């Protein structure tokens, strides 16, 4: 089932609760939270204290995308803050299997993320452990970047791998999901659509979430 995950990276942080509520009215069903440490990616954003406040502001699941080095150090704090889904980068984990087990051990849904340059076949052994695989369709660090076209092939490969292995993990895509790209992304097999700029960029999150989701659902039926 197609779901829209508004990414608060492009929201007005001074009015976060209102922005999240508007995106939810527009059809968002999971809130995507981008955590950046200034080391793994060239930007700094937010951490567990903001997740804790968000937890009080919405009942929607919080999908925390950790773009940090040594994610294992922070996983317990995200659990305490109320995160529901936590994903870690293949490129940031020396012991990926251990990191995914740690997330599950803390009662959260584990996900793995791959950067644009990382092939999806490298994930084969750990796919049975994950709730979702996040395919980055831009280089992580900033909102509002242009969608990298070869991500579509990676989404198709991942969908084929899931079928071959008889698994049920969900396929999430993040970066450049917008009105002009969403149909092809859905047709390639992605079902969890993260969107920051396309939802919050114009200051009309309810309207723009609704329009993007409608375009995605139309492509799904097509
Ligand atoms: C980028 C983040 C994304 C970002 C996507 O590093 O992981 O979640 O918010 O932004 P848009 O939808 O603006 O490309
Ligand atoms: Zn993200």
Structure confidence by residue, pLDDT tens digits, 10-28: 999 999 999 999 999 999 9
Compute, in angstroms, the gap from residue 8 CA to the centroid of ligand 1. 9
Ligand nearest to the CA of 8: 1
Q: Are 113 and 136 in contact (CB under 8 A)?
A: yes
Query: What's the CATH architecture for 3-221?
Result: Alpha-Beta Barrel (3.20)
* Catalytic status, residue 18: no
- Give residue-wise pLDDT tens across range 62-85: 999 999 999 999 999 999 999 999
Pick the closest to residue 159 from 185, 138, 126, 177 (CA basis): 185
Domain segments of the chain as ranges: 3-221
First CA to last CA distance, the chain: 14
Catalytic residue among 37, 63, 84, 174: 174
Ligand 1 atom with the shortest distance to the CA of 65: 7
Neighbours of ion ligand 2 (CB under 5 A): 34, 65, 174
One pLDDT digit (tens) per residue for the chain, 222 residues: 999 999 999 999 999 999 999 999 999 999 999 999 999 999 999 999 999 999 999 999 999 999 999 999 999 999 999 999 999 999 999 999 999 999 999 999 999 999 999 999 999 999 999 999 999 999 999 999 999 999 999 999 999 999 999 999 999 999 999 999 999 999 999 999 999 999 999 999 999 999 999 999 999 987
């Amino acid at each position: 089932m197609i779901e829209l995950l508004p990414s608060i990276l492009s929201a007005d942080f001074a009015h976060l609760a209102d922005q999240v509520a508007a995106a939810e009215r527009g059809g968002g069903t999971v809130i995507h939270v981008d955590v950046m440490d200034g080391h793994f990616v060239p930007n700094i954003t937010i951490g567990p204290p903001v997740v804790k406040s968000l937890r009080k502001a919405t009942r929607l699941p919080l999908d925390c995308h950790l773009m940090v080095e040594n994610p294992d150090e922070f996983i317990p704090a995200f659990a305490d803050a109320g995160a529901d889904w936590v994903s870690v980068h293949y490129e940031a984990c020396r012991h990926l299997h251990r990191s995914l087990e740690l997330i599950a051990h803390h009662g959260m849904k584990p996900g793995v993320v791959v950067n644009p340059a990382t092939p999806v076949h490298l994930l084969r052994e750990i796919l049975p452990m994950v709730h979702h695989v996040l395919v980055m369709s831009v280089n992580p660090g900033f909102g509002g970047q242009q969608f990298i076209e070869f991500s579509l092939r990676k989404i198709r490969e991942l969908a084929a791998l899931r079928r071959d292995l008889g698994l049920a993990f969900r396929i999430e895509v993040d970066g450049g999901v917008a009105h002009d790209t969403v149909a092809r992304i859905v047709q390639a097999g992605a079902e969890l659509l993260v969107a920051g700029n396309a939802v919050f960029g114009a200051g009309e999150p309810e309207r723009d979430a609704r329009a993007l989701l409608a375009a995605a659902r139309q492509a799904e039926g097509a």
